[in-house]
Amino acid sequence: KEGNSGSPVVVLKHACGSSAEMYLYGACVTSWKQPSGDEILYVRPDAVFDKSKPISGGIPHCFPQFGPGAMQQHGFARNLDWAVSTASADPNPDDKDPSVEVVLTESDYTLKMWPYKFKAVYMVSLHGEQLTCQLRVINTDDKPFDFTAALHTYIEVLAIEKAKVTGLKGLTYLCKAKDPKNPEIKTEDREEITFSGYTDSVYLNSPSHVELEVGTGAAVALDSSGWEDTVVWNPYTTMKDCYQHFCCVENAKFGKAATVAPGESWSATVTLSVVDVTK
Ligand code: TA6
């Protein structure tokens, strides 16, 4: 369908009533709804869809660089059009899980920033009420390359003061809150991470299961493989109009860059699901 600013959007609808939407611009999933109609992701009020900048919200890509560095912040994958390679029909009367696969390959624009030929393949699917996002990066060049990456997932919360992230206790993390270029190295001693100020932390070697309690009695669980690190970000009062309403919990490959030999590939997956934490 046509999304905001006439930008093409892929819609997935599951027979159980869940749905998801992804802009081809940035392969950014901007909506994931439960059968009740509840939206789980968050798109910032300053988001624009006219391709003048990356979409601020949903699940933007950070590739082939997470954060600042040699190239533009978070790399180029979030501000380029990806192409649909395969899609399964929606809605599926037989309850089959709908999915779409999109690809991004090198261009003059990317080669100027990152001098490698590559193919990134991103598959988004609904498994009942769950959303699965799988990224595969194939080295189509004749020399090895390194990259860092993340899925910069914005999740809606009732109020940031009620949000809690669990599953990261005991981990070493890079605290980027004071100086993003010179992060402090800390050890997480909290069972539940809560928010009372600007938070920008990269947890290294995080477990495959992390949860964000959103303040309504529900949590969003992120079950991942291949990603290795988890970023927790809330801009707090630096983004006055919206910081209360979202928390970013991001699957990342950052502590140790991925190295891919010619003809080889790297892949990582995350499945998001809504769980009831009142039971
Ligand atoms: O993932 C956290 C982070 O890297 C922060 O350091 C902050 O810059 C944020 O992403 C947002 O980045 P953006 O370029 O989307 O404004």
Nearest CA to ligand 1 atom 14: 73
Question: What's the total number of domains in the chain?
Answer: 1
- What average pLDDT does range 51-78 have in this prediction? 97
What pLDDT sits at residue 232? 98
Nearest CA to ligand 1 atom 4: 67
Q: How far is the CA of 14 from the centre of ligand 1 (A)?
A: 32
Q: Which atom of ligand 1 is nearest to the CA of 56?
A: 15
Closest CA to 136 of 217, 227, 197: 227
Residues of the domain holding 123: 4-276
What pLDDT sits at residue 1? 86
What pLDDT sits at residue 95? 54
Residue that has been written with the tokens 């950052």 in this structure: 254
Q: How far is the CA of 93 from the centre of ligand 1 (A)?
A: 40
Nearest CA to ligand 1 atom 8: 67
109's enclosing H/E stretch is helix 108-113
pLDDT at 176 over 70: yes
Q: How far is the CA of 126 from the centre of ligand 1 (A)?
A: 27
- What average pLDDT does range 6-18 have in this prediction? 94
**pLDDT class of 154 with cuts at 50, 70, 90:** very high
What pLDDT sits at residue 272? 98
pLDDT at 208 over 80: yes
Closest CA to 138 of 36, 262, 3, 272: 262
Question: What's the rounded Cα separation, in Å, for the pair 264 and 139?
Answer: 6
Question: What's the rounded Cα separation, in Å, for the pair 32 and 249?
Answer: 15
**DSSP-derived 3-state class of residue 113:** helix
pLDDT at 27 over 60: yes
72 lines ligand 1 (CB under 6 A): no
* Position 233, amino acid: W
What pLDDT sits at residue 5? 83
Cis peptide preceding 64, ω within 30 of 0? yes
**pLDDT class of 198 with cuts at 50, 70, 90:** very high
What pLDDT sits at residue 94? 57
What pLDDT sits at residue 196? 96
In the chain, helix, strand, coil percent, each to 5?
Answer: 10, 50, 45
Query: How confident is the model over 254-269, as pLDDT tens digits?
Result: 999 999 999 999 999 9
174 lines ligand 1 (CB under 6 A): no
Kindly list the catalytic residues.
152, 250
Query: How confident is the model over 71-111, as pLDDT tens digits?
Result: 999 999 999 999 999 766 544 455 589 999 999 999 999 99
- Across-strand partners of 211? 166, 221
What pLDDT sits at residue 206? 98
CATH number at residue 115: 2.70.98.10
Q: How far is the CA of 68 from the centre of ligand 1 (A)?
A: 9
Q: Which atom of ligand 1 is nearest to the CA of 66?
A: 4
**pLDDT class of 6 with cuts at 50, 70, 90:** confident
